[in-house]
Homo-oligomer: A and B are copies of this chain.
Amino acid sequence: MESVTSSTAHRGPAVGRGAKMRAAVLAATVAELTETGYAALTVEGVAQRAGVHKTTIYRNWKTPDALVIDALTGHFATDIPIPDTGAVDDDLRVLARSLIATMTTPAGRALLTTVLSDAVRLPALAAMKSALFEDRFRRAAPVVTRAVARGELPAATDPAEFLTTLAAPIYFRLVFTAEPVDEATADRAVAVALAAARAGTLTAL
């Protein structure tokens, strides 16, 4: 201490190091989440897997929960691209298939599992869950409105209703049943949603 001396403004903060370890820890967290689940998640375990010492984690994240939030928020950022092929059928097929593609990866499963686990008690995670679906639906809504504009679907078709009908069977199988979820599942979901919409059952309340 004493004098910081007049010259040296502020020396090298050495901030480049934390980035790598941060990435490693976040990745390790997701991995642990997939393997052991949120309940059994231990900072020790994450540290070990990341090749880091638990002290480091405790110093960089005030609480283990913050770590989880942080880890999941990353994947959250990876958004599904919204197609615009000119035909509803194709748009929806692409949409459903990419949804399934992202959700059947280990990382996707980790997000889904954790979001459904007891971690929902964390307000931040609960908010994330709502935001995730609201956001995806809002982003995908144009697919429906464009189809309506083109006359491919009834004018009264509600985008949110439609997308819920499309997504529900996919998530249902992912979460509840042990059935495999693949392209066939996607295509069937599309067919069902389209049939329902064309029958006029997917209007706003």
* Interface, chain A (partner B; CB < 8 A): 37-40, 116-118, 120-121, 129-130, 133, 161, 164-165, 167-169, 171-173, 175-178, 184, 188, 191-192, 195-196, 198-199, 201-202, 205
Contacts and interface: CB of A to CB of B under 8 A. Distances in A.
A202 B169 CA distance: 12
Copies of this chain, complex-wide, total 2
B172 A184 contact: no
Chain A interface, >50% SS class: helix
B178 A130 contact: yes
Nearest to A187: B201
Given A39-B118, A165-B169, 17 more contacts: A37-B118, A37-B120, A38-B39, A39-B121, A116-B117, A133-B177, A161-B188, A165-B192, A168-B171, A171-B172, A188-B201, A191-B201, A192-B201, A195-B195, A195-B196, A195-B201, A198-B199
A161 B196 CA distance: 15
Nearest to A121: B37
A84 to B, nearest CB: 24
Contacts of A129: 176
Given A37-B118, A196-B192, A168 B178 contact: no
A29 to B, nearest CB: 15
A205 to B, nearest CB: 7
